[in-house]
Chain A
Amino acid sequence: MIALRGLCVRTGTGHLAVRDVDLTIQAGQRLGVVGESGSGKTMLALSMMGMVPDGLQVEGQVLVDGHSIAAEDERAWRSHRARSVAMIFQEPMAALNPLVRVGDTIAEPLRRHLGLSRRDARARALNLLEETGIPQARRRLDQYPHELSGGQRQRVLIALALACDPQLLIADEPTTALDAQVALRITDLLVRLSQERRMGLLFISHDLAAVSRTTSDIMVMYGGDVVERGRTASVLSAPEHPYTRGLLAARPSLMTRSRRLPTIPGTVPQLNALAAGCRFAGRCARELPICASRRPPLSPTETGQAACHLLGAQA
């Protein structure tokens, strides 16, 4: 079980890139994190790997099996990476060492972390590749990354991430660089692996369709804050927060093809320009006078929780 308690990520200039996130991911739970670029999704994920970039400071607690791991305890983090928490990244093209054969890449953690012999590691690597459904798995072992397609490389990275049987797999926009067909197969694969292995899945994306297909729970982030969370199906069908509504309205669908898509005006501001209160203030269509100065707490809604002053105003 992986949990965050009051997690903040502070930049060198003292601004918060992630603000007060509480989170628990149970075995087999699939949680989607959505939000625009700059909403803190990736920082949140990196803090769960102890891999927040130099110069940023993590505050609050990261708990692995109930034990808190200090952000600066690199040695402790190293023993948790791949074994407790594994991560796959956005760009499968660049994420594999181009000089190492696929089989050797997957065998490396098996040999170094689990102490398997060369033979056993190779056999296990083949099993892992087969588990990801890559075609002609045996042949792939001796191929180099440049000989594989983008989808195949992402499968190799998934096999690598599974090597040490992690409790949680973080997938940071795993399908963004892939074409739609391949992306669907990868998300379905992640769901299947999570179910079969009772492995937690943290699925980061700005693609709401992919998130609704992949996850059971959802967390919407804006400017480093969690603005809404709940069951994926309920939140996406009945969003409470104006930001979630905006995201949903901006989603293309077959019915609205001929129409210009609505957008949320503006972009996510720089961290130093964010409001002290609700960070969506300034872009929100339904802003109240209180929004810019007071931060709305996460309060219960019909579908989960949302952080918005409108909830109180309506009640």
Chain B
Amino acid sequence: MSYFLARRIAGFLLTLFVVSIVVFAVMNVLPGDPALTILGLDSTEEARAALRGRLGLDEPVVQRYLAWIGGALHGDLGQSYSFDVPVSGLIAERLPLTLSLAVSGMALTIGLALTMGLTAAARHGRAGDWAIMLLSQLGIAVPAFWLSMLLVLLFAVKLRWLPPGGFPGWGDPVAAARSLVLPTVALALVQSAVLARVTRSAALEVMRQDFVRTARATGFAPRHVLWRHVLPNALVPIVTIVGLQFAGLVTGTIVIENVFYLPGLGRLLFQSIANRDLITVQALVMLFAAIVVTANFLVDIAYVVIDPRLRAQRA
């Protein structure tokens, strides 16, 4: 078990290292002068030279990479060109919002998907199954940004239950939570449609197995059999998809934050690209990549937590 864990952690760190090289290479080694990109075509040569000096662009690539990654490990991601403040400060300010959005979105996704998937499996081939599958097909077909606009029209404009966008800050937790409701729902509805289908087919697979018959023969109610015996055994494929979806969810926040005017990392990334703020963009891309790699690492760990047979195998 500890050997398995050590190997997974080594793999996780190696992946992060490779990702950092790729991100750095894409941002720095590509042809073109970053100073020109940042300052624009109508800048003077002197200004560009001064910026290159300030950014350390005159030094060799390897040295620049080491300086970047060394700083990042100490929490120093450089100075944002467009905001003229440390990038780490920009990120720290916005991370809580994006993280709350992603985590609540994922939680709602999982809750919805498990309920819908298991309900459909329990009613396999009957009307309830058909209805849920039809609904999820619709969910897969509808893009998140369009769904967001529909939600805003209905709940913010027509019913006036929730704010249409913007973020009041964490000072007023109730107002903050209210402004996150629609974005969370918009994120989760689309994601849960896919996950519900995965849950349904995984559950149907498990329901054919003998131990489910044993549980029924022991006199347990269908709901108990479903959640206690079927679901845990269906978790491996479900968790795999959840890991993949987390990546989709994090990138989904970029779109959703822009639709709802939420000052999170996604909005920051969007603004930084528009402002040609390469240093901030590089830090954000690295951060998003790290979040996705971490999610997949956690999924790998989850497998052995779920299944004692895998634990024995990998001990």
Q: Are B221 and A95 in contact (CB under 8 A)?
A: no
Within the complex, which residue of B209, B218, B221 is in contact with A108, where a contact is CB–CB below 8 Å? Answer: B218
Within the complex, which residue of B213, B221, B224, B309 is in contact with A146, where a contact is CB–CB below 8 Å? Answer: B309
Against B, the Cβ 8 Å flags (1 = close, 0 = not) of A90-114 are 0100111111100000001100110
Return 26 A-B CB contacts under 8 Å, by A number: A51-B213, A78-B219, A78-B221, A79-B219, A81-B217, A81-B218, A83-B219, A91-B210, A94-B209, A94-B210, A94-B211, A96-B214, A97-B215, A97-B229, A97-B232, A98-B307, A99-B306, A99-B307, A108-B218, A108-B220, A112-B224, A113-B219, A146-B308, A146-B309, A147-B312, A160-B218
Within the complex, which residue of A51, A98, A109 is in contact with B211, where a contact is CB–CB below 8 Å? Answer: A98
Residues of A within 8 A of B160 (CB): none
The answer to whether A157 and B214 touch (CB under 8 A), given A79-B219, A99-B232, A112-B224, is yes
List B299-315 residues whose CB lies under 8 Å from chain A: 306-309, 312
The B contact surface, by secondary structure, is: helix
Q: Are A89 and B232 in contact (CB under 8 A)?
A: no
Q: Are A49 and B217 in contact (CB under 8 A)?
A: yes
Please give the residue numbers on chain B whose beta carbons come within 8 Å of chain A beta carbons, in ascending order: 209-211, 213-221, 224, 228-229, 232-233, 306-309, 312
Complex Cα distance A144/B216, Å?
A: 20
Within the complex, which residue of A79, A81, A144 is in contact with B309, where a contact is CB–CB below 8 Å? Answer: A144
Against B, the Cβ 8 Å flags (1 = close, 0 = not) of A148-184 are 0000000001001001100000000000000000000
Complex Cα distance A83/B216, Å?
A: 13
Q: Which residue of A lies closest to B232 (CB)?
A: A99
Against B, the Cβ 8 Å flags (1 = close, 0 = not) of A58-92 are 00000000000000000000111111001101010
List A239-279 residues whose CB lies under 8 Å from chain B: none
The answer to whether A160 and B214 touch (CB under 8 A), given A78-B221, A79-B219, is yes
Residues of A within 8 A of B210 (CB): 89, 91, 94-95
Within the complex, which residue of B216, B221, B224, B306 is in contact with A51, where a contact is CB–CB below 8 Å? Answer: B216
Q: Are B211 and A97 in contact (CB under 8 A)?
A: yes
Q: Are B233 and A98 in contact (CB under 8 A)?
A: yes
Residues of A within 8 A of B215 (CB): 97
List A203-253 residues whose CB lies under 8 Å from chain B: none
Residues of B within 8 A of A83 (CB): 219
Please give the residue numbers on chain A whose beta carbons come within 8 Å of chain B beta carbons, in ascending order: 49, 51, 78-83, 86-87, 89, 91, 94-100, 108-109, 112-113, 144, 146-147, 157, 160, 163-164
Complex Cα distance A159/B211, Å?
A: 15
Q: What is the CB-to-nearest-CB distance from B29 to chain A, in angstroms, rounded to a whole number?
A: 48
Residues of B within 8 A of A109 (CB): 218-220
Residues of B within 8 A of A164 (CB): 219
Residues of B within 8 A of A147 (CB): 312
Among B219, B224, B228, B307, max chain A CB count under 10 A is at B219
Complex Cα distance A84/B221, Å?
A: 16
Residues of A within 8 A of B312 (CB): 146-147
Residues of A within 8 A of B213 (CB): 51, 89, 95
Residues of B within 8 A of A91 (CB): 210
Complex Cα distance A94/B206, Å?
A: 11
Q: Are A87 and B309 in contact (CB under 8 A)?
A: no
Residues of B within 8 A of A86 (CB): 217-218
Complex Cα distance A97/B214, Å?
A: 9
The answer to whether A95 and B211 touch (CB under 8 A), given A144-B309, A146-B309, A146-B312, is yes
Q: Which residue of B lies closest to A87 (CB)?
A: B217
Complex Cα distance A80/B210, Å?
A: 20
